[in-house]
Structure 1
Amino acid sequence: MKPGTLHLIPSPIGSNTDVLAPYIRSILESVPYIIAENEKTVRRFLATQMSSELLAAKQFAILDEHTPFQDMPALLDPILAGQDGAIISEAGLPCVADPGSALVQLAHSHHIPVMPHPGPSAIFQTLMASGLNGQRFMFEGYLPIQEQERLARLRFLESLSSREQMSILWIETPYRVKSLFASLCRALREDTSLTIGQALMTEESFIYTATVGDWKKGAIELKKSPAVFAIQALPVAAGLRSNKSGGKAVGKPKK
């Protein structure tokens, strides 16, 4: 039997559901099988995209960070039986800083067609608006929780950015944003450029780039909301010259 297609469907960041391409709604209406990280959240999103009758007919399965790999083959059974299915993220793009990549790899091994679809991504929106290197960049995921490990990782990433001349991005949960910012101020050179993006695609959206030194001087209050951080360090020789001359600000946070 010919398998169905596994669609990778992004979901809005925030409450604006109009950011998705119109054709995605027809896919959501027609796909009978939904793989979700959180069924309640995805049901709420789908309720904005289709009638209650269509939503009631959907079959749901859960795939989250706690799903063991040995349980994943069963998630593909309906698709192997010929049904189309969709992985829908909690927010943003599926499989990017989000569960699902292992299942997609398994789908490829079963020759299931995988179809990605465009949508919002806080990671790429931050990179777009940062002014940092968009040609060479790296995504780090989450940094270590333990302070000393985090400081060591930050120094390594700054050194890597300086050596390779690339921007490096990572994400953080709302309740660790302020402690991570304190670690950044401790670990990084003052002339390293730092971008922070928070609550993107909401009314409280914030994104700003400045040197670490100017971030320290600013009186800005970071929100308790999901955040994307990005850095780009000067080449070592340039950094040494900048430190001797006091550095040059990219921008200054406003109060």
Structure 2
Amino acid sequence: MPGTLYLIPNTLGETTALNHVIPDHVQALTAQLSHFVAENAKTARAYLKLIHAVHPLARPLQEIAITELNVNTRAEALAGLLAPLREGIDVGLLSEAGVPAVADPGADLVRLAHKEGIAVRPLVGPSSLLLAVMASGLNGQSFAFNGYLPTDAATRTKRLKELEGRSRTDRQTQLFIETPYRNGALLEALVAACQPGTLICVATDISLPSETIRTQTAAQWKTALAGERGPDFHKKPTVFLLLAQ
């Protein structure tokens, strides 16, 4: 009988207060696993050290198998990552931040696990996208995550206008993210591209002590930026949301 693929949530940033964001039973289950698939082995080990401080690991850290799955992993290598599961060994899929397989390369492995009849069990943990929708005050009945937007300024502006139009037509909240050091450029592009009444939410460092979540119209953001009263989000993980009025 094959093992179970557990989808292990991670924190959304550096913190030592695991109990604030990761349920105790999730920590306990994670501590019992001997095999993991993770985006980065080094940071996965650091996370397991935090787990160990609360729930001692079933094996010494150096004996735990951690295989990497990231944007550089070739599609033909995915099947090999399921080998322990085929042998009846439970495996944890661990994201760099938040929940696995959402805006995360682990989705391909989960799909392959289903194809092979391997049980997949998602565990409770923080999702920056859902937390941002909750706190934004925008439409939580209908929303779409669009990943990263184009880096080329003209193409990005065109894409933003398309998303604003879709939001207006469907009354749908649009979510997207950016490489943290380009957060400022994206907010400026949003303000320039959107209609003055379009609502824009900027949610930064969600669940961390430095968390800030702020929803204003594009016109209000324009005034704030002109007065150098923009958000403190340089090099900080941020979710952007918009809802056209």
Q: TM-score, normalized by length of structure 1?
A: 0.89
Match in the other structure for 2:238: 227
- Mapped partners of 2:157, 2:109: distance in 1: 33
Kindly indicate whether residue 6 of structure 2 is the aligned counterpart of residue 7 of structure 1: yes
Q: 1:76 aligns with which of 79, 82, 107?
A: 82
Match in the other structure for 2:18: 17
Kindly indicate whether residue 181 of structure 2 is the aligned counterpart of residue 175 of structure 1: yes
Match in the other structure for 2:125: 119
Say which SS state the counterpart of residue 229 (structure 1) adopts.
strand
Does the CA contact (< 8 Å) of 1:29 and 1:54 recur in 2?
no
Say which SS state the counterpart of residue 47 (structure 1) adopts.
helix
> Per-residue CA shift, 1:57-83, capped at 9, x if unaligned?
211100001101001100000111110
Q: 1:86 aligns with which of 84, 92, 105?
A: 92
Return the offset for 1:99.
1.4
The equivalences for 1:1-255 within 5 A come to 2-14=1-13, 15=15, 16-18=17-19, 19-50=21-52, 51=56, 53-218=59-224, 219-224=229-234, 225-234=236-245
**Higher Cα Rg: structure 1 or 2?**
1
Between 1:71-80 and 1:56-65, the stretch displaced more is 56-65
- Mapped partners of 2:156, 2:85: distance in 1: 41
The AA in structure 2 aligned to 1:214 is Q
Does the CA contact (< 8 Å) of 1:197 and 1:228 recur in 2?
yes
The AA in structure 2 aligned to 1:26 is A
- Mapped partners of 1:172, 1:226: distance in 2: 8
Return the offset for 1:221.
4.0
Say which SS state the counterpart of residue 131 (structure 2) adopts.
helix
- Show structure 1 runs of 4+ deviating over 4 A: none
> Per-residue CA shift, 1:71-102, capped at 9, x if unaligned?
11000001111100010110101011111111
Structure 2: where are the runs of 5+ without partners?
none
Q: TM-score, normalized by length of structure 2?
A: 0.92
- Mapped partners of 2:155, 2:95: distance in 1: 29
Structure 1: where are the runs of 5+ without partners?
235-255
- Mapped partners of 1:163, 1:187: distance in 2: 17
Say which SS state the counterpart of residue 48 (structure 1) adopts.
helix
Return the offset for 1:21.
1.3
The AA in structure 2 aligned to 1:8 is L
Say which SS state the counterpart of residue 12 (structure 2) adopts.
coil
